[in-house]
Structure 1
Amino acid sequence: MENVAKKTPDLRQGDASAEITDVRGRRHIIQSLISGAIAGSLAKTTVAPLDRTKIIFQVSSSKFSAKEVVKLIYHTYQKEGFFSLWRGNSATMVRVAPYAALQFCSHEQYKHILGTYYETEGRPLPPFPRLLAGSLAGITATTLTYPLDLVRARMAVTPKEMYSNILHVFIRISRDEGLKTLYSGFSPTILGVIPYAGLSFFTYETCKKAHAEYTERLQPYPQERLLFGACAGLVGQSASYPLDVVRRRMQTAGVKSRKYGSIAGTMSRIVREEGLIRGLYKGLSMNWIKGPVAVGISFTTFDLMQILFRKSQQPNFWRR
């Protein structure tokens, strides 16, 4: 039998209608998985053209600039058509839906586990456990869905004639390069996701908490949630960006006729050939545009979906 939810407002969540529920309950877990999948899919689809363009620059030695970005997008559109700007997005959706679902759901679980002691004391979760909960959520989701991220990167940087669909990418990589290639670049990804997921969730939760304390209004407006999410994306992606470049190089080495051995070796090679800033931070300015937008949409959608689920359980909701 499911535990009855308490009606105590949760300041840490920043939601006036929030209920401190048993997050380990089946209903809450399913709702978190659905909310996370929708949030991640909507966010990634919105910024997919910019994301694909960023990956192409990350895995090449071409000089990055706003002019070159516009030129690449225009040439791609002219040569392959408008929808080619979303090439690889099907692979992205196959990865992002389970990734975001697992990340948001596991974040709820880790936050509950780490916050059990503080909740009994009547205190909100302190900064370090909030940071740790986000990092653990990112590690969990990344470990379980990583091969799909590699497939998406391969489809983004190759012509459509090379790989016809997601299954074809898996088959060719397994046959030509070996199964272990499906986890190529996994180490820098994990090292990057620790600060990225940790700081993203930490920043978003901290912004909501500060907003509640400052305004005495426990439920932020949607546009405020978007702003908090944008700040979270800006902080998280800026902190982990060099490792994002490294992992993309390692993921796409097989189609670029290059070989990268270790994280340190890949990083030193990029710095040596392209320079510290131009190499390791190539495309970061684009991330400062797409990252905050994507993270803002993702966090806001998740929160609003959770609120909708809670309201839908109220009596007479469906009769309105």
Structure 2
Amino acid sequence: MIQKSPSSQNNKQLVFGDVHGAVLLPREMELEKAQNLDLKFQVPDIGKAFQDFIGTREVGEFLSGALAGAMTKAVLAPLETIRTRMVVGVGSRSIPGSFIEVVQQHGWQGLWAGNTINMLRIVPTQAIELGTFEWVKRTMTSTQEKWIRDGDPKLQFGDITLTIPLSWLSPVGLAGASAGIAGTLACHPLEVVKDRLTVRPEDYPNLTVALGKIYKDGGVRALYSGLAPTLVGMLPYSTCYYFMYDKLKTSYCVAKDKKRLNRVEMLLLGAVSGLTASTISFPLEVARKRLMVGALQGKCPPNMAAALAEVIREEGVMGLYRGWGASTLKVMPNSGITWMFYEAWKDILLLERRHL
């Protein structure tokens, strides 16, 4: 309903209203102007939006991790095969013996057994891990600076105030742990399938057969067999690995008064980081592998502690480091090459280095 306003406001306002009330509107907003409104709908520029998304730092780091992981695994697949066989106790106890055994039994292609699934596993794993590490590190660094400036976060329970001392946390250490957890949760089923293809290629000749047999034997749960010990073993490794590389890189640049590392330095520092992390967490890796492939050998320890005890009982304390040499030969070049490729791809995809 439209009414004219009182005479005192006749030349300034219109009255819009009904039985529930009325609203005064300026004369400039009369209905005839509203009828002439030109409504326009702009179609979003999807192409530009996609380009902006691809150009973000997070996506660049994610893609850099994926490409670095794929290129590294393509080169180092034979070492991964030998390492897995030695860790789980299959075949020869020496690196040369295991190498010859694989070639004799399965031909040269046997050195790349399970490499397809390994590539499918490592691409998302490295992308998720490195992307998560970079994002959590930046976020935690910013948050920690705020805590140091404004004080630690507090919880209020009525009249009681509790201060949570979080400013002491290491952003790099927390980022490393987060990277390991995220990558494991996302890609653990592919790790299970890869180990089956590597250890028993005669029973699991390809990805389709392996998935079918594993699902038939234990359903979806079988694809996550050994998840708990994997997470337990991953935490010290991932935390140490990322922490060591980041701190070594920062300390080296400060000592040498450099803004960035060259490719050779990245390769060496990455190798040292991988060696240190692997040595610290290797007994947990042995126990994890035993749990994951134990069913194939007709014996499966109930938990990680039982697996560790079984190894010590059968092979002594040194059994906890069985396959360490092969693991070192695989981990050191893998870590070094991964970091070298990762930093190189970041330079290409991000166009500039925004942090050390």
TM-score by length of 1: 0.82
After TM superposition, list the pairs within 5 Å mapping 1:64-143 onto structure 2: 64=93, 68-118=94-144, 128-143=170-185
Question: Larger Rg: 1 or 2?
Answer: 2
Distance 2:148 2:66 in 1: 32
Q: How many residues align structurally? A: 284
Stretches of 4+ aligned residues off by more than 3 angstroms: 117-123
Which residue, out of 38, 56, 61, partners 2:67? Answer: 38
Cα distance 1:95–1:311, how it changes in 2: closer, same or farther (>3 A)? Answer: same
Q: Is the 8 A contact 1:147 1:182 kept in 2?
A: yes
Equivalent residue letter for 1:95:
R
Q: Secondary structure of 1:259's match?
A: coil
Q: Distance in 1 between matches of 2:254 and 2:101?
A: 50
Q: Distance in 2 between matches of 1:95 and 1:61?
A: 22
Matches within 5 A, 1:215-230: 215-230=256-271
Residues 99 and 119 of structure 1, relative CA distance in 2, 3 Å threshold: same
Q: Secondary structure at the match of 1:258?
A: coil
| Aligned pairs (5 A) from 1:191-206 | 191-206=232-247
Report 1:1-320 matches (<5 A): 27-60=56-89, 64=93, 68-118=94-144, 128-159=170-201, 161-277=202-318, 279-311=319-351
CA RMSD, Structure 1 to Structure 2 (Å)? 2.4
For 1:118 and 1:261, locate their aligned partners in 2 and report how far apart those are by CA, in whole Å: 41
Contact 1:61 1:274 in 2 (8 A): no
1:100-140 C-alpha deviation (Å, 9 max, x unpaired): 000001111110121113566999x9882211111111111
Segment of structure 1 superposing worse, 186-195 or 39-48: 39-48
Does the 8 A contact of 2:137 with 2:175 survive in 1?
yes
Question: What amino acid is aligned across from residue 75 of structure 1 in structure 2?
Answer: E
Deviation at 1:310, TM superposition (A): 2.6
Tell me how far 1:55 sits from its aligned partner. 1.2
The answer to whether the 8 Å contact 2:57/2:350 transfers is no
TM-score normalised per structure 2: 0.74
CA–CA distance in 2 between the matches of 1:38 and 1:50?
Answer: 20
CA contact (8 A) 2:58 2:131 kept: yes
Gap runs ≥5 in structure 2: 1-52, 150-166
Closer/same/farther in 2, CA of residues 310 and 177 from structure 1, 3 Å limit: closer
**One-letter amino acid of the counterpart of residue 309, structure 1:** L
Structure 2 CA distance, aligned partners of 1:297 and 1:312?
A: 20
Shift of 1:72: 2.1
Percent of aligned pairs with the same amino acid = 29
Q: Which amino acid aligns with 1:129?
A: P
Of stretches 254-263 and 143-152 in structure 1, the one that deviates more from structure 2 is 254-263
Residue aligned with 1:177, SS: helix
Deviation of the 1:156 alpha carbon:
0.5
